[in-house]
Amino acid sequence: MKKVVTALVVVSLLGAVGTASAAVTLGSASGAWSNPVGGTDVGYSVAAVPYGNGSEAQVRWGEPYPDAELDPQSGLGFVGSAPPAQSFDLGDVFEIGMLTHFNNAVHLGTAVSAVDLTIATSFDDPAGVSGSFTFTLAVDETENEPGPVDDVITFPVSVAPELAYVGEERYQLEIIGFGDDPGNLQSEFVSVEGQINSTKVWGRITAVPIPAPGAVLLVGLGTSFVGFLRRRGTI
């Protein structure tokens, strides 16, 4: 019985190799818009902002009301949180960037109903780790009659994670949600009418252990040995 326990403990320790906490550094994050559904006068631009990499990718749409100040269109913007580079531990939740809705009054039927956002990330440490995520945001720009009604941007329930390999190491990158607080993530972003409203995008990177050939062999031998002892009635 002691030999079985020892074998299982060794297997557990080998399987846990590579899962220890380690510092990582996000070097860059950026966004790009594509595939708008519906909408009129859809256009793309880049604006300078005092956040993250300082370059906000925007998509604008719609026919503004004639009395709107400077006839501004509605739209969405995304800017990555890095550079400057930011460091944190493997497994920690980190801020990927900022999503903004420019909630201006446009004529009903001239706003998009959905648009794709691609977020690209690259890490300085571990060097060579990067990931790209494309997902669809649903846009509900409501009719503001007889009075202003807040709009809603709906996020996908989940975004498929990315796997990155660096030598013999493997990492998983994922977007875990949206909201001002990573402890209270939301599936919808309620955007106040007539204002510029923002929310944060959060992510996580974790190490995914790759069992060494010896560990795989030991697991097989341990399983076979346990089965043998059970057939003999030893355990």
Question: Is residue 215 over pLDDT 70?
Answer: no
> In whole angstroms, how far apart are CA 72 and each of 109, 145, 173, 181?
16, 19, 37, 30
Instruction: Check residue 39 and give left, alpha or beta (phi > 0: left; psi -120 to 50: alpha).
Output: left
Question: Is residue 214 over pLDDT 70?
Answer: no
Q: Which helix (H) or strand (E) holds 229?
A: helix 213-232
The count of residues in the chain is 235
pLDDT at site 14: 36
Give residue for tokens 């996580």: 204
DSSP string for 36-68: EEE-SS-EEEEEE-SSTTSEEEEEEE--B-TTS
**This prediction's pTM:** 0.79
Q: What is the mean pLDDT of residues 206-220?
A: 65
Query: Which pair of structure tokens corresponds to residue 31?
Result: 């966004």
* pLDDT single digits (tens) 39-94: 999 999 999 999 999 999 999 999 987 765 666 899 999 999 999 999 999 999 99
Q: What is the mean pLDDT of residues 101-116?
A: 92
Sequence-separated (6 or more) residues with CB below 8 Å from residue 204: 91, 92, 93, 94, 173, 174, 176
| Strand-pair partners of 37 | 114
Question: Is residue 163 over pLDDT 50?
Answer: yes
Question: Is residue 208 over pLDDT 80?
Answer: yes
DSSP 186: B
